[in-house]
Amino acid sequence: MLSLAALREDMIVGVSQFTEAHLDLTLEPKWLEPAVEIPAVAPAKPAAAPAATPPSRSRSRARRAEPAVPWVSLEEEFDRERREREMEEVLEAARIASKTKAPAVAPVVAPISAATRAPRFVVLAPVAVLPKLQRRGIGTRLIEAGFGHLARMHSEAVFVLGDPAYYGRFGFRSTHEFDIACELPVNEDVFQVRELRPGALEGVKGVVRFEPELRELD
């Protein structure tokens, strides 16, 4: 419904997309039950050794706890190195292209008319930025620019499935407050919504369904 791209030196470095959110008012909202934390049981203290026979140095070393080693398979390590090499090649190609003189080309821009109407409810997904260009505000600009376009296109609320610590900065709140759930089995805190029009969700209750393309994503 709406797709935005961030460009740097004629290369796409970030994208954000918005699709229609289908709100089914006939379904009862449900969420996953929060995980129950099991209190850790303190290990029993070992019996003290007799003073006359202190433990040997070799036995003391044997009792020491071995540090946890984060094992990574060779396949995972090779895959990570391959992705890093590919990213370096992409960035290097962009740097070379930016230095190459090319004939001036008049940009063609298709403005979004204020008369264009978008669905009442939309879903933000995905938001993606090249790893080496993250934490520079690119994702923030993509999301906020989307809000501006959607408001002019008469959308009333944006849903998102993601980290509350990140999306909370943009005014997203848990849909549990509005008695609205997601069709996917998720915890209540990760499915969030931001009203573009105050009171847009007043009296609304149901389950949000995504477009088939989003449901098919791995």
Q: In a 3-state reduction of DSSP, which class is residue 57?
A: helix
pLDDT tens digits, 135-182: 999 999 999 999 999 999 999 999 999 999 999 999 999 999 999 999
Task: Give the pLDDT confidence score for residue 143 in this predicted structure.
Answer: 96
Q: Quote the tokens at residue 98.
A: 């930016």
Number of Cβ atoms within 10 Å of the Cβ of 118:
20
Answer yes or no: is pLDDT of 104 > 50. Answer: no
As a whole number of angstroms, the distance between CA 127 and CA 155 comes to 19
E strands in 73-217: 121-129, 157-161, 173-174, 180-182, 191-195, 206-209
Answer yes or no: is pLDDT of 60 > 70. Answer: no
pLDDT tens digits, 27-52: 999 988 765 555 555 555 555 555 55
Range with lowest mean pLDDT among 67-71, 79-83, 161-165? 67-71
